[in-house]
Amino acid sequence: MNTELDWSNLSFGYLPTDYNVRCRYADGKWGEIEVSQSDTINIHMAATALHYGQEIFEGLKAFRGKDGKIRIFRLEENARRIRSSAEGIKMQPVPEELFREMVEKVVKLNARFVPPYGSGASLYIRPIELGMSAQIGVHPSSEYLFMVMVTPVGPYFKEGFRPTNICIMREFDRVAPKGTGRWKVGGNYAASLEAGERAHELGYSAVLYLDPKEKKYVDECGPANFFAVKNGTYITPASESILPSITNKSLMQLARDMGIPVEERHIPIEELAEIDEAGACGTAAVASPVAEIHDIDTGVKYIVAKDGEPGPVTTALYNKLRAIQLGEEPDVHGWNTIIEE
Ligand SMILES: *Cc1c(COP(=O)(O)O)cnc(C)c1O
């Protein structure tokens, strides 16, 4: 255990750890896994990742459980998703078995950075793949680097699990209707920075994007999926332009387990006037409750959390998911990978 870190006060920044793991694809095959102590990489200045955005990533977490064991949450789902992202932008897919081996290895090597149970902190795992071939022509790279780095991160809700306001802004789209939104591509984030910064300046925690084709339906909430609770039903957008969140998928399963009906469908903007709860979900926060949604173009304000408190369904789902991640409740769906130290 690393005794020098103040676990509960870690930010969502970058803290160096002991090791990262790397694997290169060249001459038509993946090489050996390399363990590195360097936190920099050597990249050709003409690499496709730098010029044409051939870059994809993942984000998952490891937790120290109540029993002292390290658990990685839904590793296989992330392995599947990065493969889909690779196929989406013509990169070499990382075999799922290689992904698993590298993630498990990097967590084991950095076990002293997995925050203690009860701190609210976790070890954030960031797999990343880059197109490495030196070329100026616009075509997919023939060489790739896949690496997995980790960094400990503090509890997301430092001021407690409190609802925040989000806004609808039509001036920017994060992605195109049949574009790269369904893949975890770095460029999608670049496209969201301007709108995100404007929203923050206006006091909102995130932008609630509308579907980029018709601007009629709710799409995604910044770098997180959107869900709402309406008359006891969990609703979340079905859309080609959103990233399939593994947290959302997990919350949907937990909702079904609790007897809460789940609907994945279009959510027209006007329906926001009828919802009882709303939240943004993703690995960083699990679920971040929404208080009000302000449509800054029309001036309409949707007051979701009438009493300013997180809703009962959002709270129950949040607590349930956290309890599974921390080994406080049985992992009936087999979502955790336990790391033997
Ligand atoms: C990563 C990401 C999410 C959240 O996905 P999780 O698997 O739940 O962490 C949602 N939206 C976007 C755009 C993302 O990149």
pLDDT at 54 over 80: yes
- For the question of residue 184 being annotated catalytic, the response is yes
State how far the Cα of 288 lies from the Cα of 182, in Å rounded to an integer.
21
Evaluate: CB of 336 within 6 angstroms of ligand 1. no
Q: Which of 12, 225, 241 most suits a substitution to test ligand 1, by most atoms within 8 Å of the C-beta?
A: 225
Instruction: Give the pLDDT of residue 8.
Output: 83
Instruction: Give the pLDDT of residue 193.
Output: 96
Nearest of 64, 96, 35 to residue 341 by alpha carbon: 64
- pTM over 0.75? The answer is yes
pLDDT at 9 over 90: no
User: What letter does residue 134 receive in the DSSP assignment?
Assistant: B
Q: Which of 252, 283, 288 most suits a substitution to test ligand 1, by most atoms within 8 Å of the C-beta?
A: 283
Instruction: Give the pLDDT of residue 10.
Output: 87
When pLDDT is cut at 50, 70 and 90, the band that residue 80 belongs to is very high
> Average pLDDT of 151-155?
93
Q: CB neighbours of 306 closer than 8 A, spacing ≥ 6?
A: none
Query: Distance between terminal CA atoms of the chain?
Result: 12
Evaluate: CB of 192 within 6 angstroms of ligand 1. no
Instruction: Give the pLDDT of residue 331.
Output: 98
Residues 169-214: tens digit of each pLDDT: 999 999 999 999 999 999 999 999 999 999 999 999 999 999 999 9
Contact (Cβ atoms closer than 8 angstroms) between residue 147 and residue 10: no
- Mean pLDDT over all residues of the chain? 96
